[in-house]
Amino acid sequence: MASDLHPALRASNVTKFRNRKMQLESEPANPESTPSSASESFYAHALDRIRRFMFVLWMFLSATAWLRFGWRVAVGFFIGCAVAYLNFHWLKGVVTELADHITQTGKRQSGKGVVIRFLLRYFLMALGAYAILSVSPASLYGLLTGLFLPVAAIACEAAYETFATLVRDT
């Protein structure tokens, strides 16, 4: 019966794997191969910084759009940024929940909930676009531009990380 098993699943190979795993866990980590705790902490807070960049850009660019293009475009931009921020928050939550569920149970989560939430986000965006288009077509340009808020925030985060790395290395 044991000879019918795939070679990787035989008891002797599983025992060898467990022994090697325990040996690796008991060995001290190579300090050159593990990133420093300061670096880990820096990159662990990237999502928080991206959220802050999104909020600051949202407020600053909404005010700029008001001054430059008028209130209709600014309102559309403000709503587009709100939808983009909410979408970013929901996406982070779904990914975190899915990862926690998979790591805790070892099973795949049902795809129905993920797909429904995914489609709900786009349905809300389409509903907002329709409402804005029916009120003021000029606001639709602002809405569509506001949806790019996460892209701008991620670009700011990339610039910040580059700056921090250059400062740290000098």
Q: Tokens 């939550």 map to which residue?
A: 93
Q: Tokens 């809405």 map to which residue?
A: 143
Instruction: State residue 143's pLDDT score.
Output: 83
Instruction: For residue 128, give every residue at least 6 positions away whose Cβ sits within 8 Å of its Cβ, in sequence order, or none.
Output: 79, 80, 83, 143
Q: Which helix (H) or strand (E) is 28 found in, with range? A: none
| Spatial separation of the C-alpha atoms in residues 158 and 53, rounded to whole Å | 11
First to last CA, the chain: 63
How far apart, in Å, are the Cα atoms of 65 and each of 37, 54, 96? 41, 16, 34
**Mean pLDDT, 10 residues at a time, the chain of 170 residues:** 49 51 52 63 87 95 94 90 88 78 67 74 81 81 88 94 86
Quote the pTM value.
0.66
Structure tokens at 126: 């389409």
Instruction: State residue 2's pLDDT score.
Output: 47
